[in-house]
Structure formats: C-alpha cells, structure tokens
Amino acid sequence: MKFQDTLINAKTTVKDCTDFTVNGITNICKLYGPRPCGEESEKKAQETMLRELKAFSDEVRRETFKVNPDAFMSFVPIAGTCCAAAAGLNVIASHKNKKAALGSLALIGAGVAGMVSEFLLYKKVYDPFFKEKESGNVIAVKKATGETKRRIILAGHTDSAPEWTYTYKLGSHGSFIVAGPALAGLAYTAATSAVTLLSKNKKTAKKMALGQLAFFPAYGALYKFTNNKRYVEGAIDNLSGCYIASAVLKYLTENNISFKNTEVIAMMAGGEEAGIRGSKAFFEAHPEYQNDGVETVFISIDTIRDEEYMAIYNKDMTGMVKNDERVCNLLKKAGEKHGMTIPVTAIPLGSTDAASASQAGIPAAAIVAMDPAPAKYYHTRLDTPEIIVPECIEKVLNITLEAVFDFDENGIQ
C-alpha cells in the first residue's frame, strides 16, 4: 500500500491531522504549562496524551521509570566550581607549596570528566547525588493485523527544559558567550598548574595565578546557566514531535488503514531534557525489541518548526553515537517524494532520543527542524504555542507517514 493512494479517499486528511497536532500542543501548554521531568505536570500531560491515543491505537500504556532530573545539567556549575577551586589551589601552590598544583590538576580533571560523562556520553555519573523522582513513557501500539514482521517506533518527548538563561537574555549565541570564557579559564588554570609544577621561575607562576582571577565572573555565571526555577513550555521542543507521532496513528486509524505485518508505535518519552533518560529506560525495559525477530526501527521527531533547517541526523549525542544510514535513507527518500531535499548530517550539540535506540542496537535516526544556531526559542520561554508553524508540521507529518508506508512495504535498505 502506498501513502499516496490513501490520500484520495482519506476521511481524515493530513491537514486535519496537522490541525489536531496544533490544537493538541496548544491544549497541553494551556492545561499544564511547563513540564519538568518527574513533576506532576509532566505526568498529567502524559495522561492526557494517553487518553487521546486510546482512540487511535490497539494498546496504550504508561511505563514509569526512576530518574534524577537535576543531575544532567549539573555538570555546568560543578565544572565551574572545580575550576574556581583549582585556581585557588594554584595561588597557594605559587606562593607556598608547588605540590598543591597537583590538586588543582586533579580538580580540573574531575570537572572535565563530569562534563564528558554527563553531557557528551549521557552517563549517570552525578545522578546518585540528586533527588530521585518518577517519570514515565507513554507507548501507543497499532498492531499488525497478521503476523508482526516489522515494527516502527515514532517518538517525541513530553517533558520540557529548564530555561537557558543566557540564550534567553543574550540571544542565540548567549550560552556560548558565557561558556566560552569559562572553558578558556579551564585551559588557563591547567596551564598555570603546569607552569607552577615545571617552571623554576616563581614569578611567572605567581603572575599566572593572579591572572586566573579574570575568569571568576565566567565561573560565577555558570551557576545561572540553566534556571531550574523556570522551566519552558516546550511547545516546539518537543510537543511537536509527540503530536506528529500521535497524528500518524490518527491518520491510519481514522482512515481504516491497517498494515498486515507492520506494527506502528507512537512513543511519548519522558525525561529527554534530563539526559534522554526516558528513552534509555524504554530500551532497558524492552530487550525484546532487539531480539524478537521483528525488524524494528526508531525515529525521533524533535523540535519541528524551522523548515529551512530541516535535517536528518546520522550522528547523535554531539557526534559520539552513529545512527543508522538506512533509517536516514528512509526519511530522505520520504522527503524527496514530497519535493524536499533534506540534508543528512550530524547533530551539532546534545542528543535526541534516537541515540538511546542506536546505543541499544536498534536502527534509528532523528528528524529535526530547528535553526542550529540555536533558535532563539530553544530552551527559552519563547517556546510557546504562538510560534508553531503549521506548514512545517504538515510537511514533517507527510514525510513521517510516507516513511511508515515505505517501511511497511520495503523495510530498511
């Protein structure tokens, strides 16, 4: 069955499904506002989505998981604290005991290790030190009418992010403007430690130790890097993905379209902004998706608004995780059928839920439509239903539906 052939007699059109998406996003934002991972608003939003999905699926459930939401972004102030303390030790080292510079290097090492493991690798290093909460994933299944031979999982995330203070205050590059000097300070302090330990010239070490003070305002600014008291509404990031996944099931069900051998799953993940914890929990809870003999693929639909920047990610997790080229192809081909040449590229920074799937060995890719600068609304209070671009939603919905039908017929190649 071709997607194109279903359009002629569709009772529920793609345009209807686009309206459903826009209304659904608006409704969730109006009812529950910001949805921090593990909070009541995230849960209630998921319960509302679950109720809606019942009409379009054979089975729908919410699976809970434990999470320490504040751990993920804590690497920012922790790294800043390590740098400031390291600078302090260098001052002592340059005046009294140069061995103190070894402690300084150890602190810098600890800050960098935290940054790499939490942010670049999404490891749960700081998690045990933060409050544990419960979040959930909503999973809606439209079953195959016959034997299940293929499975496609379409995922958005329901939680929203804490506001990135400097992106909001200083614009697109605001967070980099603040992080840049702090990273320069880290390098300078490491150099100061090395000079203190290795050089015989005490004067230079003392001068450099004094110079470290210049970076303290940058370290201080890191404490406000994310504002945990103000979470954003996340209409675009990522209720757009949730409702596009939901709209695919709506289109199929309301037009009486069933696949004989392909199961279609819409997943509304929790805790993406807490370090893709929901999708990680999902694949930990479902090892069968890796080995039940059903050809399974995963598509993360994330932050759909800026058509000119639409992209398919073949590398995720700041380039550390490879997604599946065949799934990228499926999306690219679907785009071409709808007159679009979508670039296949690496995510510039951060991660989508597709990384969890790829790490679990499930062929995966992500489709995103956001200015990678990043956009001014990215993780700020500007991410509201007022800025939804329905035309872009409709295009990605078409692409996703096209990919689902193609996958049902041909699998991934």
Tell me how many degrees the CA angle 290-296-298 measures, rounded to the nearest 5: 105
Spatial CA neighbour of 342 closest among 354, 351, 330 = 330
Q: Which residue has the closest beta carbon to Zn ion? A: 237
Q: Name which of 154 and 161 has its Cβ closer to Zn ion.
A: 161
Ranges within 156-185 binding Zn ion (CB under 5 A): 161
Beta carbon of residue 352, minimum distance to Zn ion (angstroms, whole number): 9
Cβ proximity to Zn ion: between 251 and 313 the closer is 313
Closer residue to Zn ion, CB minimum distance, 364 or 366? 366
User: In angstroms, rounded to a whole number, what is the distance separating the alpha carbons of residues 110 and 202?
Assistant: 26
In angstroms, give the least distance from the CB of 273 to Zn ion.
5
* Count of residues near Zn ion by CB under 5 A: 2
Burial 315-324 (b: 16+ CB within 10 A, else e): bbbbebbebb
The pair of structure tokens assigned to 374 is: 């990043």
Beta bridge partners of 344: 312
In the complex with Zn ion, the residue whose CB is nearer, 168 or 259, is 168
3-state class of 324 per DSSP? Answer: coil
Beta carbon nearer to Zn ion, 377 or 407: 377
Nearer to Zn ion, 111 or 374 (CB): 374
Tell me how far, at minimum, the Cβ of 67 lies from Zn ion, in Å: 16
Asked if residue 237 lies in contact with residue 303, where contact means CB atoms within 8 angstroms, the answer is yes
Q: Which is nearer to Zn ion, 269 or 327 (CB)?
A: 269
CB of 269 to Zn ion, least distance (A): 12
Q: How far is the CB of 103 from Zn ion (least distance, A)?
A: 36
Stretch that binds Zn ion, among 118-126, 134-142, 229-237, 355-363 (CB under 5 A): 229-237
Q: CB of residue 347 vs Zn ion: minimum separation in angstroms?
A: 11
Strand 295-304 and strand 133-142: the pairing is unpaired
Candidate list 118, 237, 316, 383; residue touching Zn ion; CB under 5 A: 237
Closest listed residue to residue 314, CA positions, set 273, 275, 277, 355 = 355
- The pair phi, psi for residue 151, each rounded to 5°, is -140, 130
> What is the closest distance, in whole angstroms, from the C-beta atom of residue 129 to Zn ion in the complex?
23
In the region spanning residues 240 to 259, those forming contacts with Zn ion, defined by CB under 5 A, are none
Shortest separation between residue 350's beta carbon and Zn ion, angstroms = 7
Minimum CB distance to Zn ion, residue 110 (Å)? 27
Q: Which two tokens stand for residue 228?
A: 């945990």
Max Cα distance, the chain (Å): 84
Q: Is 70 in the site for Zn ion (CB under 5 A)?
A: no
If the CB atoms of residues 237 and 316 are measured against Zn ion, the closer one turns out to be 237
Amino acid type, 270: G
Closest to Zn ion by CB, 234 vs 335, is: 234
Choose one: 6-14, 66-74, 75-83, 235-243; the region binding Zn ion (CB under 5 A): 235-243
Given the rule CB under 5 A, which of 48-56, 100-108, 153-161, 310-318 is the region that contacts Zn ion? 153-161
Question: Which range of residues in 103-111, 233-241, 258-266, 358-366 is near Zn ion by CB under 5 A?
Answer: 233-241
Residue 386 buriedness (CB in 10 A; 0-12 / 13-18 / 19+)? exposed
In the block, residue with structure tokens 């599946």: 324
List, in sequence order, every beta strand (DSSP E) within 252-336.
262-269, 295-304, 310-316, 321-322
Q: List the beta bridge partners of residue 345.
A: 313
Residue type, 113: A
Q: How far is the CB of 337 from Zn ion (least distance, A)?
A: 29
CA distance 254 to 262: 17
What is the sign of the dihedral through the CA atoms of 34, 38, 39 and 40? positive
Among residues 94 and 238, whose Cβ is nearest to Zn ion? Answer: 238
Contact positions toward Zn ion, by CB under 5 A?
161, 237
